Amino acid sequence: MNHDYPHVPLEFHEYPPAEMAARARAFADELMRRRTVRDFSDRPVPREIVAAAIDAARHAPSGANHQPWHFVAVSDAALKRRIRAAAEAEEKAFYSGRASAEWLEALRPLGTDWQKPFLEIAPWLIVVFAEQWGRWPDGRRRKNYYVPESTGIASGFLLACLHHAGLATLTHTPNPMAFLGETLGRPKNEKAIMIIVAGYPAAGAVVPTHALQKKPLGDVATFL
Ligand code: IYR
């Protein structure tokens, strides 16, 4: 390791193994209760909760620590209405011909269609942008690395924090989503990768049983 650049002592919290196991189990159990929700209440959610979740996301690891992301948290009713209208126009085309028969078949158990009322009803839409390239202080283009991986991890942190706070979330990926950069005035070097919808679930909200079926640990993990 070269330590030509300054370093500081690591702040590390060590727990006894039994406590670590209990912490891991409790955190896993909590994350296992997260459900994708598509039926939201319009009950307001304080902005500081969303800001705290973005604080978590911006501390995610990223390629060369370039933090190639930007989060636009939308609560403005007029903007949400525009996003809904644009998303539904794309989704209409998707569900009525642009998607392959196989894709539509895969979505059937979820019960989704072109209508996206949650984009207007939920109090917060957090649009995640991936920064394809940045700038050096002198203005030259600066390459970013592992952009999909970095923004994916940051989105995971964001979702985990919102869930831990007690909010319902949905990862929504209108197809295609170039309209989001235009609507939200983002620069051309940023590409929208998903909308994270956050709020309270509507009274009586349901989830598809299909979503509860997870591959067993033994099928997704190999210990060697
Ligand atoms: N974007 C569409 C379709 C859709 C695609 C996948 I892959 C999903 O997991 C869910 C939906 C929509 O939001 O309806």
Q: What is the pLDDT of residues 146-199, one digit of tens each?
A: 999 999 999 999 999 999 999 999 999 998 899 999 999 999 999 999 999 999
Pocket test for ligand 1, best of 170, 175, 179, 196 (most atoms within 8 A of CB): 175
90 lines ligand 1 (CB under 6 A): no
> Residue with structure tokens 């997704």?
220
DSSP 98: I
Kindly state if the Cβ of 173 falls inside 6 Å of ligand 1.
yes
Give the tens place of pLDDT for each residue, 54-67.
999 999 999 999 99
Distance, in Å, from the CA atom of 170 to the CA atom of 194, rounded to the nearest integer, reads 10
Cβ distance 35 to 214 under 8 Å?
Answer: no
Task: Give pLDDT, residue 79.
Answer: 98
What DSSP string runs through 113-169?
Answer: -S--THHHHSSEEEEEEEESEEE-TTS-EEE--SHHHHHHHHHHHHHHHHHHHT-EE
Residue 111's contacts (CB-CB under 8 Å, 6 or more residues apart) are 208
Residue 208 has which token pair?
A: 């598809």
Which has the closest alpha carbon to 211: 168, 176, 149? 168
Query: Quick check: 3 pLDDT over 90?
Result: no
**Percentage, residues of the chain above pLDDT 90:** 97
Q: Tell me the average pLDDT of the chain.
A: 97
d(CA 220, CA 168): 26
- Ligand 1 centroid – CA 32 distance (Å): 21
Tokens of 111: 């019960």
The pLDDT of residue 2 is 86
Percent of the chain with pLDDT over 70: 100
22-48: per-residue pLDDT in tens?
A: 999 999 999 999 999 999 999 999 999
Atom 9, ligand 1: residue with shortest CA distance? 107
What are the structural domains of the chain? 36-202 (3.40.109.10)
